[in-house]
Amino acid sequence: MSDIRDEEFFGASAPFPQLGERTVSDLPAEIADKHKKIYFSLVSIFQKLCVELKDNGGADGNPLKLAIEDTIGALREDERMSLGLANAPYPYVARNIENGDKLFRAVVIHGVNVMVYSLKISLDIGVPDIRLPYIGMAAICYRIGALSLPKEKLAASPDDTGTMLEMDALAAESGKYLEGIEIDDFHMESIQYLLTLARENSDTLRQTSLREAMYQYSIIIHMAHEFEKLTHQPAYGASLSPVDAMKRIRDEMSSYFNPEIIKLFFNHLSIYPLGSFVKLSSGETAKIVKVNETSIIRPTVMIVLDEEGREKPDPARINLRLKPNLYIKKAVVDPFLTERYIDLF
């Protein structure tokens, strides 16, 4: 993986204020615990709904809608834990879910993460509150058409290339499952429409301006799906670090997405998302704990391992915008670090 020092990747840094350093997480434990409960509860509720849809052809979607609304509230209150969990490996999430070995990971966890990313961006750009549950529902149901597969395939590892390709092929068949979800005072036809737009042909996407895209939330959902897939599912060529996933999206999608839309997505989600890990020029390993949107390649980090790979008893909080001689060399994909420092922000 090549070093990342390219200030032109997404533009030069803007002026910044002086900020102090802290040596402890500033995410209150009660907030972290509450948001973890919301995330894992959402995974469990969506799994239950998927099983009911598959077994019975219908399900009560009201608990899922309420769980999505709880996630919107969590993102408004403090987005760090929700985004950190969305960046966590599937096995970590599965261990926190009852019957996690039977979890439809590439449908359920994938959908939850796509929803978290989509809602985070939607909140940032000021999407009206009344539309947020629709974006959340469409995002979480992105692969619901894959429920046509046998349960053993749905529970298969996301490094099973054949099964992942089958899921992609079936994702468009979401209509029959969406019709089986009953939610009070909710227009499910809008969800199907959003998902149809999210899979629209490249000619339509190429013609979409930035202003129009703000009202075509499907583009946000589609890009969140691509990002989540590349960073979590080895079947698509080993799980990529967020920055490498962003580069692939930039390179492969630039021909049919307006460049401003891609830049918008990157600037709000960041090439170094909250909760991910990086290797610094000092040789130390650090966790991303705050994104500096005006300088996304110089975020605020917590240094957790020294240059010899030894755990630091007191992780140091560093704003890289204040340290011109310290920079990120490369992203680090390490499930152990993610789990060990899941609460550190």
- Where along the chain do its domains lie? 29-270
For residue 9, pLDDT over 70 is answered with no
Residue-wise pLDDT tens digits, 308-337: 999 988 888 999 999 989 999 998 888 889
For residue 108, pLDDT over 60 is answered with yes
**Residues 262-289: what's their mean pLDDT?**
87
**Residues 204-232: what's their mean pLDDT?**
71
Element (H, E) at 334: none
Q: Which pLDDT score is estimated for 294? A: 77
Angle at 39 between CA 34 and CA 43, to 5 degrees: 145
The confidence band for 306, taking pLDDT boundaries of 50, 70 and 90, is very high
The confidence band for 289, taking pLDDT boundaries of 50, 70 and 90, is very high
Residue-wise pLDDT tens digits, 151-165: 999 998 888 888 888
Q: Give the DSSP letter of residue 122.
A: H
Q: Map tokens 């009070």 to a residue.
A: 184
Q: Which pLDDT score is estimated for 216? A: 65
Under 8 Å CB-to-CB from 169, ≥6 apart: which residues? none
Indicate the range of 11-25, 31-45, 297-311, 321-335 predicted with least confidence: 11-25
**Residues 256-270: what's their mean pLDDT?**
74
This prediction has a pTM of 0.85
Cα 224 from chain centroid?
A: 6
Residue-wise pLDDT tens digits, 123-139: 988 888 988 999 999 99
Q: Which pLDDT score is estimated for 200? A: 64
Element (H, E) at 272: none
Q: Which pLDDT score is estimated for 214? A: 42
Q: Which pLDDT score is estimated for 254? A: 67
Q: Give the DSSP letter of residue 99.
A: T
Q: Which pLDDT score is estimated for 72? A: 98
- CA-nearest of 158, 154, 194 to 174 is 194
Q: Which pLDDT score is estimated for 252? A: 77
For residue 199, pLDDT over 50 is answered with yes
The rounded distance, in Å, linking the Cα atoms of 126 and 122 is: 6
Q: Which pLDDT score is estimated for 49? A: 97
Indicate the range of 92-96, 112-116, 177-181, 255-259 predicted with least confidence: 255-259
Q: Which pLDDT score is estimated for 208? A: 55
The confidence band for 261, taking pLDDT boundaries of 50, 70 and 90, is confident
Look up residue 214 and give its amino acid.
Answer: M
Q: Which pLDDT score is estimated for 220? A: 84
**Residues 79-93: what's their mean pLDDT?**
93
Residue with more model confidence, 218 or 345: 345
- Tell the CATH topology of 29-270: Hypothetical protein af1432 (1.10.3210)
Indicate the range of 20-24, 93-97, 204-208, 300-304 predicted with least confidence: 20-24
Alpha carbon of 233 to those of 82, 108, 167, 294: distances in Å? 19, 13, 12, 30
Residue with more model confidence, 265 or 85: 85
For residue 201, pLDDT over 90 is answered with no
Q: Which pLDDT score is estimated for 134? A: 92
pLDDT > 90 fraction of the chain, expressed in percent and rounded? 48
Three-state SS across 21-54? CCCCCCCCHHHHHHHHHHHHHHHHHHHHHHHHHH
Q: Rg for the chain (alpha carbons), in Å?
A: 20
Q: To the nearest whole number, what is the mean pLDDT of the chain?
A: 84
Contact between 171 and 114 under an 8 Å Cβ cutoff? The reply is no
